[in-house]
Amino acid sequence: MTNIIGAGLAGSEAAWYLAEHGEQVTLVEQKPARRSPAHQSDGLCELVCSNSLKSDDVFGNACGLLKEELRLLGSLTMEAAAHTRVPAGGALAVDREAFSAYVTQKLAAHPKIQLVCREETELPAEGIVATGPLTDGALYEAILARFGTSLHFYDATAPVVTAASVDMAHAFTGDRYGRGTGDYVNCPLTKAEYEAFVRELLAAEKVTLRDFEKREIFEGCMPLEVMASRGKDALRFGTFKPVGLAGEDGRRPYAVLQLRRENREGTLLGLVGCQTNLKFGEQKRVFSLIPALKNAEYVRYGVMHRNTFLDAPNVLNADFSAKDAPMLFFAGQITGVEGYVESAMSGLLAAMHFLQKKRGGEVILPEDTCVSGALSRYLASPNKHFQPMNANYGILRGLDERDKREKKRLMAERALAEIARFRAAYGA
């Protein structure tokens, strides 16, 4: 019997792989008895931030390439995403409730998986810990006592509005550079509107952080107000960039806020890149300055929460096992990977390595020519200023300089060949 603690993306992925390969699994999850501050439903594998798994471009985007690597390895996350996908241009976005329900049903119905609802308070001697970036309570204290160090960064979620409440007289549909099927709702701003928005955003009242929360914010999930504080045009070169978009008059707006489907029906729209720590009333006031959102109805406001991750280079091996306990594995964002797909990858690889060790085999790491291998190796590489890492080309082994698009295509072909080799070596 193998114990897995936590049934988020990483834990669910790990449980599925082990069960599909003949292992009896006890999957321990504290919901529904207890939820973290960021969770809203009782289902497993809940997506608590955006409903987007980011780009699905295998040959032009590192996260898109990582998705294909996971598909080749039999990922449950990728299977669930395929069944619950919603239109999002070149991105892979899902109906978050349907996604969670799909994974929950698959795990609950598997004859080799036993779901146990309880709050774990101790680290097991053997198994996989995938309790996520909001690990707290007695288990957090046990991890802290075990490793003597723990780092924090802070994650923020974006507001969600009803599609019916968006004023389409001040918006237009379309994907950046015309890539997609017109899935995004674009809310343009004039120069005056943009400047007024930024001014009020910076002046708005924020949720007061407690002393233990006053830490560095991770660059990859920065609150909108923090980005705006970096310069008057920071949003126009980031979240609100108008490049690749044209209004009905054919001209590029001064700035654009994009809305993306949150569910299959398209009745809910998320404010893309608008993670925020503003108080709820302030969110409604400030975002109403955008003409298309003047009368928007909010079904969820943005929140900010503490994320916890290990000092992985000092405590973890590249196979996700603890350096002081070869059969104790960690997976998910607690390891220092950042992102939904990256978390799923860590759960899948941790399970593969765990099973290999348990059955007396030699651990085989994927090379850094694929995203899975590069991320795994990044976590274990010496780093005095370790921070969470997304899928990106910069961590992959380089190729000779050449045309950018050709280079990405060749890197993708090389990565998928490496995943095929890795899969065959493990008989996965």
Dump pLDDT digits (tens) for 383-397: 877 878 889 888 998
| pLDDT mean over 133-157 | 80
- Inform me whether the pLDDT recorded for 425 exceeds 60: yes
- The fold adopted by the segment(s) 2-153+307-426 is FAD/NAD(P)-binding domain (3.50.50)
pLDDT reported for residue 420: 97
- Closest by CA to 104, choosing from 27, 219, 17, is 27
pLDDT reported for residue 212: 44
Residues 6+ apart with CB under 8 A from 231: none
Residues 6+ apart with CB under 8 A from 27: 4, 7, 11, 12, 15, 107, 113, 114, 115, 116
| pLDDT mean over 34-46 | 69
Q: CATH number of the domain at 160-302, out of 2.40.30.260, 3.40.50.720, 3.30.565.10, 3.40.50.11720?
A: 2.40.30.260
| pLDDT mean over 262-274 | 86
Dump pLDDT digits (tens) for 212-224: 445 556 566 788 9
Q: Compute the distance between CA of residue 285 and CA of residue 110 in angstroms, rounded to an integer.
A: 47
Q: What percent of the chain has pLDDT over 70?
A: 91
pLDDT reported for residue 400: 74
| pLDDT mean over 406-410 | 89
Tell me the average pLDDT of the chain. 90
- Inform me whether the pLDDT recorded for 149 exceeds 90: no
Q: Compute the distance between CA of residue 94 and CA of residue 199 in angstroms, rounded to an integer.
A: 34
pLDDT reported for residue 248: 74
Dump pLDDT digits (tens) for 367-377: 999 999 999 99
Find residue 189's DSSP bridge partners: 255
- Inform me whether the pLDDT recorded for 11 exceeds 70: yes
Tokens of 105: 């049903």
H or E segment to which residue 328 belongs: strand 325-330
Pairing type for strands 185-189 and 113-117 reads: unpaired
Give the residue ranges of DSSP H helices in 253-309.
280-287
Q: ∠13-125-334 over CA atoms, to 5°?
A: 45
The full set of domain ranges for the chain reads 2-153+307-426, 160-302
Neighbours of 22 (CB within 10 A): 9
